[in-house]
């Protein structure tokens, strides 16, 4: 069977690189005694496919991977994995999916990033000024660093919430296709519009989504 | 402090996961309720320190079986060091983020002579005075163990105590003594600690020198302090503690796998080998215990590979059974077995084949020298035929490459021996070419021979830098296609040799070199030989003094350390080298009278074993 798994990565693990995260997951699968399937070939590996890369330095509340394994009860899977995982990482949900379902990398096309910002700044002015622009050119931080990217069409929503000592600025943005917006490009944008890097206390990814028309679905809901 | 690190500091460094702790299986004990508090400090980066078995053993031993507490700290990479200094954050332990200065004991693992500058750096970053004499009752005790501690003298100024031999025997006793005598002043505490077998307290010994700089006398400066310090030894590995749930790092480290220690010590008697002498006698762990440890470790770590470690794993008497058993048991789950070193023979290759049913790694053979004559001198009991048969087995089994280890600068070496290495590589390559249509790749690693304390070659001169460079050029002139030669840095090896046979006078030089910016000396991008040269010059010490040939009756700085092997035996081995007389493997052919078994009341091998 193929299982689509939803997990969270706490702030303690925000510095892990993608490969580290994958190894952590593989080791947890072995410790938990999950009946995973191995690939064929000379160098067999667990048939695990991680979703979108969680960048080094940020943590995430709703991340995903797909795993091929022998029949297993989903509640047992969640329970056994959570015993084997470090406290900062936990499996929240999982869902059996079709063996031929499209991969996470193919279907996830939006993500919400939250910037935790010192209270007392006029964030509504900042967001209004940003959303009023027709174009928001930013130097790309991706593979091709010499390109100027227009972020505007990829910013779908901005929301401001209050936490105790902080304001939370959340942006729903396009990732992968049609436009891959990175969190550090958003950060560069805020700085251009008057924020200081030191105002940003923390950054996390609220979730990964499938955008269809104007709706955002969880990858567990819309396979 | 943790919050500040995560928010302001770690996002700015390369590989922040080196500094966060909280790994799977980390043991964080309650600080206030624990007796003696020790931090295991490893004077190199996390990825190297976390790969070291000795530290894993001691960490588990102290935390799981005693009421003491042990945390971990590693040398910060220079980017992190700069931030720690700039932000005035002391070097801390990964478990509780406690500054090093707050521990009762700071214990360094000395695996490599040149890591000493990192020791000084870590002490300073941890807020601890560098020299034993400057540290008061309120400062931690700074101690060290590991193979380099068998000649502790160059580092005597910086440490309060050295723990000699197998750490699982002495560490807990040491911590118990620290705890019981907590009320004592430092001087009195050191006196107490000196009573523990295997503990050397440098402050309690005095050295005097002849005019030529060699040692005239070396003796305890107080009553009741032992004349010689004997190493500690685990008698039965099956009964010794071994961790069943080691810490599993988040980031990739050098040896990222489960490890079984199949045996300790080696009986092969290679005359250049330090580990082979200081870890005698050979002690094996039984296959049953190892199989159980494998199961527990794999279950608790989730690793996909298990390595069989020792100085010479193919000499472990149960290796064949163990490998087959592990492959059968875990191969289906995609868990591989690896052998760190192979013996130069066909049996080794067959076994490597067994292992490779799951995963392919590079094969490494170590003939060490290029001619039979020189292999006889160093007592590497390997013939050219052995090597060629092994190479044939390698390529027949489908490997496309082979790595070979050699040394240059060995005693009695001539151009013929260097040429011999090249000829050997040619032969190995031509064997490979017969079995493969694609080009095969031969890699040879050429280390510079460094005479070490407690070995038969401790009397021998070390080849100078210019002579080693000539040898390198000689070998590089003859280019061979698909044969890659890589040479160890001759200047690094020279400095290693100075420390390896050094004395107390070097403390000043080390201190100065560190002040002048030396650190991470084992890393070529940071090693500055020029700075070291200046440090020697400013202290008026000629480093060549330490790499010279020595006379039979010279008192060595490490003579007072008793590894169990007789100095007379070492001298005899040194003589036999020049007569090309081989010394057999004592487990195969009977006792060679090195002295270690009677010294520790072990039954010597009769020659019927293995």
CATH number reported for the structural domain that contains residue A33 in this entry:
3.30.70.580
Give tens-digit pLDDT for B272-295. 999 999 999 999 999 999 999 999
A→B contacts (Cβ < 8 Å), by residue, are: 11-17, 19-20, 23-24, 26-31, 38, 42-46, 56-57, 84, 86, 88, 201-202
Tokens representing B484? 């890659």
**For position B65, what pLDDT does the model report?**
97
- Alpha-helical runs (H) found in B209-284: 274-278
Averaged pLDDT score across all residues of chain B: 94
- Does A29 fall in a domain? yes
Cis peptide before A178 (omega within 30 of 0): yes
- Does A89 fall in a domain? yes
**Based on the domain organization, do A50 and A148 belong to the same domain?**
no
Cβ–Cβ below 8 Å for B302 and A202? no
DSSP at B487: E
- Assign residue B456 a region (left: φ > 0; alpha: ψ between -120 and 50; beta: otherwise): alpha
Alpha carbon separation from B380 to A130, A170, A215, B308 (Å, rounded): 74, 67, 73, 22
Rounded Cα–Cα distance for residues A122 and B199 (Å)? 65
Directed axis angle between helix B167-180 and helix B53-65, to 10°? 40
Domain endpoint, select from A88, A106, A124: A106
**Based on the domain organization, do A78 and A139 belong to the same domain?**
no
C-alpha torsion A49→A55→A60→A63, nearest 10: -20
Q: Average the pLDDT over B464-492 and give the result.
A: 95
**For position B357, what pLDDT does the model report?**
57
**Angle, vertex CA B488, rays to CA B482 and CA B489, nearest 5:** 130
Q: Tell me what ipTM this predicted complex has.
A: 0.89
DSSP H or E run through B42: strand B37-42
Three-class SS state of A184: helix
C-alpha distance from A178 to closest chain B C-alpha (Å): 29
Q: How confident is the model at residue B64 (pLDDT cuts 50, 70, 90)?
A: very high
**Based on the domain organization, do A113 and A177 belong to the same domain?**
yes
Give tens-digit pLDDT for B227-267. 999 999 999 999 999 999 999 999 999 999 999 999 999 98
C-alpha distance from B395 to closest chain A C-alpha (Å): 18
8 Å CB contact between B314 and B341: yes
Q: Residue B322's closest CA among B360, B361, B284?
A: B284
- The neighbour count for residue A128, using CB atoms within 10 Å, is 11
Percent over 70 (pLDDT), chain B: 98
Cβ–Cβ below 8 Å for A30 and B16? no
Domain endpoint, select from A59, A78, A106: A106
Cβ–Cβ below 8 Å for A13 and B250? yes
**Based on the domain organization, do A12 and A57 belong to the same domain?**
yes
- Does A52 fall in a domain? yes
Cβ–Cβ below 8 Å for A20 and B359? no
Domain endpoint, select from A106, A128, A151: A106
**Based on the domain organization, do A61 and A155 belong to the same domain?**
no
Q: Which residues of B449-476 are buried (b: 16+ CB within 10 A; e: fewer)?
A: bbbbbbbbbbbbebbebeebeebbeebe
Q: How confident is the model at residue B333 (pLDDT cuts 50, 70, 90)?
A: confident
Q: Average the pLDDT over A33-52 and give the result.
A: 91
Residue A80, domain extent: 2-106
- Does A223 fall in a domain? no
**For position B608, what pLDDT does the model report?**
55
**For position A145, what pLDDT does the model report?**
82
8 Å CB contact between B38 and B104: yes
- Which residue of chain A is at minimal alpha-carbon distance from B252? A20
Q: Average the pLDDT over B377-388 and give the result.
A: 93
Ranking A80-94, A130-144, B557-571 by mean pLDDT, the lowest is A130-144
Alpha carbon separation from B43 to A214, B242, B485, B509 (Å, rounded): 56, 23, 29, 18
Percent over 90 (pLDDT), chain A: 85
Alpha carbon separation from B357 to A6, B257, B332, B360, B434 (Å, rounded): 35, 18, 10, 8, 23
Which CATH number fits the domain that encloses residue A158? Answer: 3.30.70.260
Cβ–Cβ below 8 Å for B334 and A86? no
In the numeric block, the tokens 């199949």 are attached to B262
Tokens representing B435? 């079995």
C-alpha distance from B552 to closest chain A C-alpha (Å): 54
**For position B75, what pLDDT does the model report?**
98
Alpha carbon separation from B261 to A219, B57, B325, B606 (Å, rounded): 46, 10, 16, 24
For residue B457, give every residue at least 6 positions away whose Cβ sits within 8 Å of its Cβ, in sequence order, or none.
Answer: B271, B272, B411, B451, B574, B577
Q: How confident is the model at residue B360 (pLDDT cuts 50, 70, 90)?
A: low
C-alpha distance from A78 to closest chain B C-alpha (Å): 17
pTM strictly above 0.90:
yes
Chain B residues touching residue A28 (CB < 8 angstroms): 302
Phi and psi at residue B22, to the nearest 5°: 60, 25
- Does A84 fall in a domain? yes
Alpha carbon separation from B429 to A69, B13, B395, B487, B498 (Å, rounded): 44, 44, 10, 19, 37
**Based on the domain organization, do A121 and A26 belong to the same domain?**
no
DSSP at A214: T
Q: Average the pLDDT over B163-186 and give the result.
A: 97
Instruction: Answer whether B433 touches A (CB < 8 Å).
Output: no
Domain count of the fold of chain A: 2
Cβ–Cβ below 8 Å for B250 and A16? yes
Instruction: Answer whether B195 touches A (CB < 8 Å).
Output: no
Q: Residue B158's closest CA among B41, B278, B37?
A: B41
C-alpha distance from A217 to closest chain B C-alpha (Å): 31
For residue B338, give every residue at least 6 positions away whose Cβ sits within 8 Å of its Cβ, in sequence order, or none.
Answer: B257, B305, B306, B307, B308, B355, B359, B361
**For position B358, what pLDDT does the model report?**
46
Q: How confident is the model at residue B176 (pLDDT cuts 50, 70, 90)?
A: very high
Q: Residue B192: is it exposed, middle or buried by C-beta count within 10 angstroms (0-12/13-18/19+)? A: middle
Directed axis angle between helix A18-31 and helix A74-84, to 10°? 110
Rounded Cα–Cα distance for residues B189 and B199 (Å)? 13
Give tens-digit pLDDT for B68-88. 999 999 999 999 999 999 999
Percent over 90 (pLDDT), chain B: 86
Give tens-digit pLDDT for B148-158. 999 999 999 99
In the numeric block, the tokens 């490979």 are attached to B432
8 Å CB contact between B426 and B467: no
C-alpha distance from B527 to closest chain A C-alpha (Å): 29
Chain A residues touching residue B6 (CB < 8 angstroms): 11-12, 14
- Which residue of chain A is at minimal alpha-carbon distance from B303? A27
Rounded Cα–Cα distance for residues B432 and B401 (Å)? 8
C-alpha torsion A102→A141→A9→A171, nearest 10: -80
8 Å CB contact between B44 and B115: yes
C-alpha distance from B386 to closest chain A C-alpha (Å): 29
Cβ–Cβ below 8 Å for B24 and A27? yes
Q: How confident is the model at residue B6 (pLDDT cuts 50, 70, 90)?
A: very high
**Based on the domain organization, do A99 and A131 belong to the same domain?**
no
Q: Residue A41's closest CA among B334, B382, B598?
A: B334
**Based on the domain organization, do A43 and A79 belong to the same domain?**
yes
Q: Residue B580: is it exposed, middle or buried by C-beta count within 10 angstroms (0-12/13-18/19+)? A: middle
Distance from the first to the final alpha carbon of chain A: 15
Chain B residues touching residue A116 (CB < 8 angstroms): none
| pLDDT at residue B487 is higher than 60 | yes
- Does A222 fall in a domain? no
**Based on the domain organization, do A57 and A131 belong to the same domain?**
no
Rounded Cα–Cα distance for residues B422 and A200 (Å)? 61
- Which residue of chain B is at minimal alpha-carbon distance from A55? B11
**Based on the domain organization, do A114 and A69 belong to the same domain?**
no
Q: How confident is the model at residue B316 (pLDDT cuts 50, 70, 90)?
A: very high
| pLDDT at residue B606 is higher than 80 | no
8 Å CB contact between B548 and B502: no
Q: Which residue(s) pair with A171 in the sheet?
A: A113, A158
Instruction: Answer whether B578 touches A (CB < 8 Å).
Output: no
Ranking A164-168, B157-161, B290-294, B486-490 by mean pLDDT, the lowest is A164-168
Nearest CB partner across the interface for B7, out of A24, A28, A201 = A201
- Alpha-helical runs (H) found in chain A: 18-31, 74-84, 104-107, 123-132, 183-192
Averaged pLDDT score across all residues of chain A: 94
Three-class SS state of A87: coil
**Based on the domain organization, do A95 and A124 belong to the same domain?**
no
**For position B348, what pLDDT does the model report?**
80
CA dihedral sign, ordered B59, B60, B65, B69: positive
**For position B610, what pLDDT does the model report?**
44
**Based on the domain organization, do A67 and A131 belong to the same domain?**
no
- The neighbour count for residue A58, using CB atoms within 10 Å, is 20
Three-class SS state of A172: strand
Rounded Cα–Cα distance for residues B579 and B491 (Å)? 30
CA dihedral sign, ordered B130, B136, B138, B140: positive
Cβ–Cβ below 8 Å for A38 and B300? no
- Does A157 fall in a domain? yes
| pLDDT at residue B61 is higher than 70 | yes
Phi and psi at residue B580, to the nearest 5°: 55, 40
């Amino acid at each position: 069977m193929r299982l689509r798994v939803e997990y969270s990565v706490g702030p303690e693990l925000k510095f892990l690189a993608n490969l580290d995260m994958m190894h952590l997951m593989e080791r947890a699968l072995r410790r938990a005694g999950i009946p995973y399937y191995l690939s064929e070939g000379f160098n067999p590996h667990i048939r695990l496919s991680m979703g979108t890369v969680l960048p080094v330095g940020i943590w995430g509340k709703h991340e995903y991977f797909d795993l091929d394994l022998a029949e297993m009860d989903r509640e047992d899977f969640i329970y056994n994995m959570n015993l084997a995982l470090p406290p900062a990482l936990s499996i929240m949900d999982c869902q059996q999916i079709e063996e031929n379902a499209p991969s996470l990398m193919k279907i996830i096309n939006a993500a919400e990033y939250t910037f935790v910002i010192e209270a007392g700044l006029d964030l509504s002015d900042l967001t209004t000024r940003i959303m009023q622009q027709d174009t928001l050119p930013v130097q790309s931080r991706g593979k091709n660093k010499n390109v100027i990217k227009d972020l505007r069409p990829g910013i779908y929503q901005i929301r401001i919430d209050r936490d105790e000592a902080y304001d939370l600025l959340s942006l729903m943005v396009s990732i992968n296709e049609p436009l891959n917006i990175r969190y550090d490009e958003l950060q560069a944008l805020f700085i251009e519009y008057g924020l200081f890097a030191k105002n940003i206390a923390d950054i996390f990814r609220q979730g990964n989504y499938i955008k269809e028309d104007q709706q955002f679905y969880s990858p567990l809901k819309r396979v | 402090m943790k919050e500040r690190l995560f928010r302001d500091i770690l996002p700015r460094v390369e590989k922040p996961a080196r500094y966060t702790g909280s790994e799977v299986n980390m043991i964080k004990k309650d600080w206030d309720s624990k007796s003696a508090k020790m931090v295991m400090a490893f004077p190199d980066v996390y990825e190297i320190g976390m790969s070291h078995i000795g530290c894993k053993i001691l960490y588990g031993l102290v935390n799981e079986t005693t009421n003491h507490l042990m945390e971990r700290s590693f040398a910060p990479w220079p980017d992190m060091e700069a931030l720690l200094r700039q932000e005035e954050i002391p070097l801390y332990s990964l478990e509780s983020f406690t500054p090093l200065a707050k521990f009762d004991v700071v214990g360094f693992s000395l695996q490599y002579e040149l890591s000493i500058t990192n020791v000084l750096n870590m002490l300073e970053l941890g807020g601890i005075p560098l020299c034993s004499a400057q540290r008061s009752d309120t400062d931690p005790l700074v101690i060290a163990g590991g193979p380099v501690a068998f000649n502790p003298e160059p580092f005597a100024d910086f440490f309060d105590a050295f723990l000699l031999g197998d750490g699982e025997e002495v560490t807990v006793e040491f911590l118990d003594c620290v705890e019981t005598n907590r009320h004592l002043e430092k001087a009195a505490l050191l006196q107490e600690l000196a009573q523990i077998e295997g503990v050397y307290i440098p402050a309690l010994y005095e050295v005097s020198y002849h005019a030529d700089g060699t040692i005239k006398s070396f003796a305890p400066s107080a009553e009741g302090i032992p004349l010689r310090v004997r190493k500690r030894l685990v008698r039965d590995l099956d009964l010794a503690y071994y961790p069943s749930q080691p810490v599993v790092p988040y980031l990739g480290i050098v040896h990222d796998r489960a490890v079984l220690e199949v045996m300790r010590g080696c009986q092969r008697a290679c005359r250049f080998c330090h580990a082979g002498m200081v870890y005698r006698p050979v002690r094996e762990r039984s296959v049953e215990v190892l199989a159980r440890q494998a199961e527990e470790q794999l279950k608790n770590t989730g690793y996909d590979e298990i390595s069989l470690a020792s100085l010479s794993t193919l000499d472990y008497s149960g290796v064949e059974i163990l490998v087959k058993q592990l492959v059968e048991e875990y191969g289906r789950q995609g868990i591989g077995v690896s052998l760190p070193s192979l013996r130069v023979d066909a049996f080794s290759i067959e076994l490597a084949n067994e292992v490779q049913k799951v995963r392919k790694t590079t094969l490494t053979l170590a003939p060490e020298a290029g001619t039979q004559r020189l292999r006889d001198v160093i007592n590497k009991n390997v013939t050219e035929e052995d090597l060629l048969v092994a190479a044939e087995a390698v390529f027949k089994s489908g490997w496309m490459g082979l790595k070979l280890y050699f040394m240059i600068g060995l005693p009695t070496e001539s151009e013929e021996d260097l040429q011999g290495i090249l000829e050997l590589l040619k032969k190995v390559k031509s064997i490979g070419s017969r079995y493969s249509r694609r080009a095969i790749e031969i890699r040879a690693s050429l280390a510079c021979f460094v005479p070490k304390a407690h070995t038969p070659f401790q009397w021998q001169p070390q080849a100078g830098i210019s002579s080693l460079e000539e040898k390198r050029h000689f070998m590089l002139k003859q280019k061979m296609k698909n044969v890659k030669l890589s040479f160890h840095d001759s200047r690094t090896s020279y400095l290693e040799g100075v420390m390896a046979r050094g004395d107390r006078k070097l403390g000043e030089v080390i201190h100065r070199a560190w002040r002048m910016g030396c650190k991470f000396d084992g890393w070529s991008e940071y090693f500055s030989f020029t700075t070291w040269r200046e440090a020697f010059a400013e202290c008026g010490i000629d480093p060549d003094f330490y790499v010279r040939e020595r006379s039979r009756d010279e008192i060595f700085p490490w003579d007072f350390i008793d590894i169990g092997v007789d100095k007379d035996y070492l001298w005899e081995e040194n003589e036999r080298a020049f007569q090309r007389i081989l010394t057999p493997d004592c487990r195969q052919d009977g006792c060679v009278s090195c002295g270690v078994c009677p010294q520790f009341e072990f039954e010597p091998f009769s020659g019927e074993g293995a």
